[in-house]
Amino acid sequence: MRFKDKVALITGGNYGIGRGIALQMVREGANVAIVARNEQRGAQVVAEISESGGNGEFFKAELSSEETVIGMIDAVIEHFGRLDIVVNNAGCGSQNCGIEAADPPGPRWANFRGANLDSTYFVSAHSLPHLAKCEDSSIVNISSTATFHGNWGLYGVAKSGVEALTRSFAAEAAPLGIRVNCISPGWIGTGEDADSAAAGTEDGEWSLPPSLLNRMGTPEEIATTVAFLASKEASFITGQTIVVDGGLTIIDYPSIPTLDKVGHRLYSHSPKK
Ligand SMILES: NC(=O)c1ccc[n+]([C@@H]2O[C@H](COP(=O)([O-])OP(=O)(O)OC[C@H]3O[C@@H](n4cnc5c(N)ncnc54)[C@H](OP(=O)(O)O)[C@@H]3O)[C@@H](O)[C@H]2O)c1
């Protein structure tokens, strides 16, 4: 119960990784504000939280709009009376794709920047005065290992901005006693297929393993890292990005077949040709 009586705001908490984070924070005693656009999914997670004996409320907001974010934070404060933890998890991504008339550069950049970077900036900036009133308050952002890889287009660019913003806000918020950190997830299984996707590559779904551990990660594995960073146990950590990717980014993938020679399970568990 590390977060008993605290209030945590989770953007994108109505689905996927964000839902996992919201449920983890509730398990550890937090009251949770879930912020996203889809009300039906929001209501489902709030019902799950209530059934587990927790306290959650859904706040509808398009997070790329500063005006909407200001109204949403006012509503959260009016409802819960305080704000201790902010998790900027909302986002959207896709790999590189060619410029088309239906998807021109300006709107495309506005889309990825808005959902990933503007949302993180607006929510963090307008939360600071409220976080500053609480002890041990902190912000946890969610970026992506797409920041390392050129094939993730503007998603990787926007998420790189999230990591830079983490350092920038950590410096700005330190005098207020607020820590700011970031998690960079690799492939995480979400939605209805999460269990099968997390089970690994034996079914041939992946042509190469999605991590060094031969499986996708789970929302819970991101959620427990969020909880650690938001807790007192991380009291001397700020401005950092922790990669949670099962070792994906430390592997030189073109060399994987050579691992077979030494019987490494990463290759031997890969789908048979
Ligand atoms: N899954 C992965 O493998 C993976 C890997 C690396 C990083 N990530 C990052 O982890 C985070 C969660 O990923 P996920 O896989 O759980 O994604 P997801 O299932 O697509 O969920 C995205 C969440 O963000 C919300 N959202 C998106 N745009 C929004 C906007 N403009 N305003 C308000 N809410 C918005 C969505 O809710 P509404 O649609 O209801 O608004 C939804 O709750 C994202 O930031 C993603 O980039 C995911």
pLDDT tens digits for the chain (273 residues)? 999 999 999 999 999 999 999 999 999 999 999 999 999 999 999 999 999 999 999 999 999 999 999 999 999 999 999 999 999 999 999 988 888 888 899 999 999 999 999 999 999 999 999 999 999 999 999 999 999 999 999 999 999 999 999 999 999 999 999 999 999 999 999 965 555 454 455 555 667 778 888 889 999 999 999 999 999 999 999 999 999 999 999 988 888 777 767 666 665 444 443
Cβ–ligand 1 contact at 90 (below 6 Å): yes
In degrees, rounded to 5, the angle at the alpha carbon of residue 27 between the alpha carbons of residues 23 and 33 is 50
Cβ–ligand 1 contact at 62 (below 6 Å): yes
Q: What is the pLDDT of residue 271?
A: 44
11 CA to centre of ligand 1 in angstroms: 8
Q: What is the pLDDT of residue 8?
A: 99
Question: Is the distance from CB of 28 to CB of 1 less than 8 angstroms?
Answer: yes
Q: Which residue from 126, 141, 136 is spatially nearest to 176, judged by alpha carbons? A: 136
151 CA to centre of ligand 1 in angstroms: 19
223 CA to centre of ligand 1 in angstroms: 14
Q: What is the pLDDT of residue 205?
A: 62
Q: What is the pLDDT of residue 258?
A: 76
Cβ–ligand 1 contact at 188 (below 6 Å): yes
Question: Is the distance from CB of 18 to CB of 12 less than 8 angstroms?
Answer: yes
Which ligand 1 atom sits closest to the C-alpha of 91? Answer: 45
Q: What is the pLDDT of residue 261?
A: 72
Q: What is the pLDDT of residue 97?
A: 85
Cβ–ligand 1 contact at 115 (below 6 Å): yes
CB atoms within 10 A of CB 253: 9
Cβ–ligand 1 contact at 93 (below 6 Å): yes
Give, in order, the Cα–Cα distances in Å from 16 to each of 13, 19, 147, 151, 190.
8, 5, 20, 23, 5
Measured distance CA(233)–CA(224) in Å, rounded: 12
185 CA to centre of ligand 1 in angstroms: 12
